[in-house]
Amino acid sequence: MIGTRLGPYRIERKLGQGGMGAVYEAVHETIERRVAIKVLNPGLSQSADVSVRFINEARAVNLVNHPGLVQVSDFGQLPDGTAYIVMELLEGETLSKRLARLGGRMPLPEILRMCRQISSALQAAHMKGIVHRDLKPDFQRLAIVVGNLA
């Protein structure tokens, strides 16, 4: 995908790969804004349920206004039907990299601060009836994976 275009965005590099898809850094060529684009794995895009759940991530995150949640600005489909979501590009150190740098141990005050921030973001989502089902240490902020609170 490197060098290809999704609408006004030019894909520049791959940031990561997960079970659901890959995330790329891209730039909006007209306004030169850098973004992250999450592209669903093509095989999963064949499932209507998976595609709907993927796009519901974009809807859900925009229902919850919280500084700990990544902002989604657009979504669409590639010519082959593969879904993608355009999100803000976050800079900084992920939790997994920080843990590696610190030899697997973090100071207790830092752990507590991080737990408060995560809990605050999850509470904001829960207040909107959304449950997050996919926390990963490679995110700087939470990207919501949707599920209804029962």
pLDDT at 99: 84
Q: Is residue 73 part of a domain?
A: yes
In this predicted model, what pLDDT tens digit does every residue of 78-133 receive, in sequence order? 888 888 999 999 888 777 788 888 898 889 998 888 888 888 888 988 898 887 66
Residues whose CB falls within 8 Å of the CB of residue 146, separated by 6 or more in sequence, listed in order: 53, 56, 57, 59, 60, 130, 131, 133
Q: Is residue 110 part of a domain?
A: yes
Confidence band of 148 (pLDDT split at 50, 70, 90): very low
| Catalytic member of 74, 80, 134, 138 | 134
| Distance from the Cα of residue 123 to its chain's centroid | 18
The reported pTM is 0.78
Q: Is residue 149 part of a domain?
A: no
134 part of the active site:
yes
Q: Is residue 80 part of a domain?
A: yes
CATH of the domain at 118: 3.30.200.20
Report how many domains make up the chain. 1
Q: Is residue 134 part of a domain?
A: no
**Domain ranges, residue 61:** 5-127
Q: Is residue 142 part of a domain?
A: no
pLDDT at 147: 40
Q: Is residue 74 part of a domain?
A: yes
In this predicted model, what pLDDT tens digit does every residue of 41-73 receive, in sequence order? 888 877 788 888 878 877 888 888 888 888 899
Q: Is 150 exposed, middle or buried (0-12, 13-18, 19+ CB in 10 A)?
A: exposed
